[in-house]
Amino acid sequence: DYELGGVAIQDPSLGLLVRAWKLWVDGEDVRIAPLNDLGNATTLFSGSGITEVTLSFDNNAMPVVAYIQADELKLRWFDLSQSPPQYVVNNFGLGIATPYLTFDDKRSQFIGASDVMLFYVRSRKVWVRLLRERWTVEYEWADVPSHAGRILAAGMSRGNRMQLKFAVPPDFMLDMELGGMGF
């Protein structure tokens, strides 16, 4: 996966639109590096049976990684409420496909009101969870049309609405708004 982030991991001093980062699985290692410096990759964590990864960064430029391991959706994120603060892993179980992480609005003037969002498909519906709720609340957003494939991309439109792009012949955009949440 690829994502814009800070100048370095845990360095949001120049904002979150500074460098393109790449996240990938190398054997059992989940690795991350700036796109222009792949030779200096860092192993974030390791595990057997990881088949899919997706990346975002939180407000502090800490990597948030959702991944499929042994057919289960897991999420690794930096939890500031732990003592001491540390990475934790949430397990969301089986039957979930095509996870996609995104930060809804990385512009510096909106960082305080923005959030990391985890989208995924289960039972032909799109679901979303939010970092600000510590990933505990699951929202149903939309039905997935029968001809749609996996989530390819997510991002804010020019109309300030979150959109998902699915792999389908032909590709289409599913414009979604969660009532009362300000998205």
Contacts of 148 (CB under 8 A, 6+ apart): 166, 167, 168, 172, 174
Is residue 95 predicted with pLDDT exceeding 90? yes
Q: Using the 8-state DSSP alphabet, how is residue 105 labeled?
A: -
Residue-level pLDDT at 119 = 96
**Rounded to the nearest 5°, which phi and psi values hold at 109?**
-70, -10
Neighbours of 91 (CB within 10 A): 10
Residue-level pLDDT at 179 = 43
Bigger pLDDT: 32 vs 108: 32
Residue-level pLDDT at 183 = 29
Q: Is the dihedral of CA 36, 50, 148, 178 positive or negative?
A: negative
- 118 CB burial (10 A radius; 0-12, 13-18, 19+): buried
Mean pLDDT (the chain) is 89
123-134 average pLDDT score? 94
Report how far apart the first and last C-alpha atoms of the chain are (Å, whole number): 24
> pLDDT grade, residue 173 (50/70/90)?
low
Model confidence pLDDT, tens digit, residues 56-91: 999 999 999 999 999 999 999 999 999 999 999 999
Structure tokens at 28: 């059992």
Using CA atoms, how far residue 132 sits from 88, 96, 112, in Å, is: 15, 21, 11
